[in-house]
Structure 1
Amino acid sequence: MHILGYFFALIIGLVMGLIGGGGSILSVPVFAYLFNIDAITATAFSLFVVGATSSVGSVSFIRQGYVNFTTAFRFGIPSVLGILFSRRLVLPHLPEYIIHRWGITLTKDMFILILFAVLMLLSAIKMIQRKERVRKPRESETNYTLLVSQGLLVGIVTGFIGAGGGFLIVPALVMLLGVSMKEAVATSLFIISINSFIGFASSLDKIPVDWAFLLSFTSLSIIGILIGVALSKRIEPRKLKPIFGWFVLVMGIWIIVTELLLK
């Protein structure tokens, strides 16, 4: 199972490099089911992996001038507040049993993994649909209240379940700010890298960290994203998204069935 887990570390980076995101959605299930790590630690480890791989992926975009730092700042600050809210105020105070009556048992770990599976399903549907995002004209007035609230929502989601939130950030930047798809993906990776590292750092006093394991896993993901970026120049990412979407959809359903019916 551990060998399979390290193989998926490579796949996580590969997918992120090929389609600009999505691979991080696999990290929490890999940590939880293949390495038998508890859900809260798994979400923290996922944040570290996502942060490292996103940082590597955003370097080339920064060099090319695609990262909009002003937008990253406006979106990123409320995101950071959302992450700190989740990691410092919500997760540590969740009871061990969310529901434990009427013959129904829902533990904290089960609750987090089920929420993560729901996010997987939403992400998968967006990948499968192939809908083009409607870009807002730059000259129209930007709804900064909506932008800040979206940033806060992304931060809460990122902090709670350890996913980067790219499938929420990219459409927000395209539809609310009118930036190009390339700029949105580049800025999203930059925001994700900062958010993820802050989320992981905020958990260091709450979880045990096996640095040798975490760094080896992350190294494989970084190798994967470098391969993915190279392959993306030859492969059309739009064609790969629906295929990966179906895979994520099946995994999300499997997690829900496993947590609710097989435990």
Structure 2
Amino acid sequence: MAVALILGVAIGLALGLLGGGGSIITVPVLVYAANVPAQSAVAMSLAIVGVTSIAGACMKWRQGLVHARASVLFSLTGIIGALAGGQLTPLVRPSVLLVIFAGLMLVIAGRMLWARKQEDVPAAAQCRPWRCASAGMGVGIMTGFLGVGGGFLIVPALMHFGRIPLKQAVGTSLVIIALNSLAGLVGHLGHGSVDWRLTGIFSLLALIGMFAGVQLSRKVSKEKLSRWFAWVVIAVAIFVLIRNRKVFSEPW
């Protein structure tokens, strides 16, 4: 459990530093370090990431690093998608859910390692309603289904579809992650038990990590951090796949 608590701080640290990423390790940490059932871990992950992202979003808002229009467009459709995605989780066996989750981890880590260096874009935002709303819906469904905030998808989507500068995209993503995560949690509440005490402990630790991450983000290269974090994500994904390897010899 001590390892799980240390990793709880790492969840917030990743969110504060990178505007995402904490949620991708939350479910494996809860399942394998805190012995939480997979479906319950998805719901708890949404609560932890949601609370932590709210704190980070407030800090970024005060710094003027949140784009209001993009937050609204992504969040409105993202909430609908998260509520729908939350209904899908109980339909999938826990082992299959974890394998899908590991696959997503590898995709995200691969993008972090081999994508071109993210360069800032002009501040003239062009968050067109249809494009931003569609992107928000897709991320929302993934959030509700797998318990991930989607920060590593939201940040590039904000930059690509909304032409929003990187630093502002990171702040805006925290607002969207918070709303999507809380909506996804609502979609999960009727499908399984949630250990609220453990959720509260992890949320507190993640908040500590979040505040530290926001401070460090001003001093550390985001590109280097992303690459180091990507290798951590790959290692966790391989571990999850090994633990659930029997799935590949069974009918899904």
TM-score by length of 2: 0.90
Instruction: Name the CA distance, whole Å, in 1 between partners of 2:11 and 2:183.
Output: 20
Instruction: Name the CA distance, whole Å, in 1 between partners of 2:61 and 2:111.
Output: 27
1:94-131 deviation line (CA, Å, top 9, x unaligned): 16xxxxxxxxxxxx101111111111111111222251
Amino acid in the other structure paired with 1:226: F
Instruction: Name the CA distance, whole Å, in 2 between partners of 1:126 and 1:244.
Output: 12
Residue in structure 2 matched with residue 63 of structure 1 by the alignment:
62
Percent of paired sites with the same residue:
37
Instruction: Name the CA distance, whole Å, in 2 between partners of 1:16 and 1:127.
Output: 15
CA 186–139 in structure 1, closer or farther in 2 if over 3 Å, else same = closer
TM-score by length of 1: 0.87
Amino acid in the other structure paired with 2:74: F
Instruction: Name the CA distance, whole Å, in 1 between partners of 2:10 and 2:188.
Output: 26
CA 140–154 in structure 1, closer or farther in 2 if over 3 Å, else same = closer
Residue in structure 1 matched with residue 232 of structure 2 by the alignment:
247
Amino acid in the other structure paired with 1:252: A
Match of 2:171 among 186, 189, 203: 186
CA contact (8 A) 1:120 1:252 kept: yes
1:165 and 2:173 correspond: no
1:226 and 2:224 correspond: no
Instruction: Name the CA distance, whole Å, in 1 between partners of 2:141 and 2:104.
Output: 13
1:73 and 2:80 correspond: no
CA 63–215 in structure 1, closer or farther in 2 if over 3 Å, else same = same
Task: Look up the SS of the partner of 2:36 in the other structure.
Answer: coil
CA 32–179 in structure 1, closer or farther in 2 if over 3 Å, else same = same
Q: CA RMSD, aligned part only?
A: 2.2
CA 71–6 in structure 1, closer or farther in 2 if over 3 Å, else same = same
Residue in structure 2 matched with residue 46 of structure 1 by the alignment:
45
CA contact (8 A) 1:25 1:120 kept: yes
1:121 and 2:106 correspond: yes
Q: How does 1:126-137 map to 2 (within 5 A)?
A: 126-129=111-114, 131-133=116-118
1:52-89 deviation line (CA, Å, top 9, x unaligned): 1111111111112221121111111111111111113x
Unpaired segments ≥5 residues, structure 1: 96-107
CA contact (8 A) 1:135 1:178 kept: no
CA 215–126 in structure 1, closer or farther in 2 if over 3 Å, else same = same
Moved more, 127-136 or 114-123: 127-136
CA contact (8 A) 1:19 1:241 kept: yes
CA 180–215 in structure 1, closer or farther in 2 if over 3 Å, else same = same
**1:25 Cα offset (Å):** 0.9
CA contact (8 A) 1:118 1:252 kept: yes
CA contact (8 A) 2:121 2:166 kept: no
Instruction: Name the CA distance, whole Å, in 2 between partners of 1:48 and 1:257.
Output: 27
Instruction: Name the CA distance, whole Å, in 1 between partners of 2:140 and 2:46.
Output: 12
**1:157 Cα offset (Å):** 0.4
Would you say how many aligned residue pairs link Structure 1 and Structure 2?
A: 248
Moved more, 147-156 or 233-242: 233-242
Task: Look up the SS of the partner of 1:168 in the other structure.
Answer: helix
CA contact (8 A) 1:133 1:175 kept: no
Residue in structure 1 matched with residue 243 of structure 2 by the alignment:
258
Residue in structure 2 matched with residue 91 of structure 1 by the alignment:
89
CA contact (8 A) 2:69 2:127 kept: no
**1:146 Cα offset (Å):** 3.2
**1:91 Cα offset (Å):** 2.6
**1:262 Cα offset (Å):** 8.9
CA contact (8 A) 1:133 1:174 kept: no
CA contact (8 A) 1:129 1:242 kept: no
1:112 and 2:97 correspond: yes
Instruction: Name the CA distance, whole Å, in 2 between partners of 1:244 and 1:137.
Output: 27
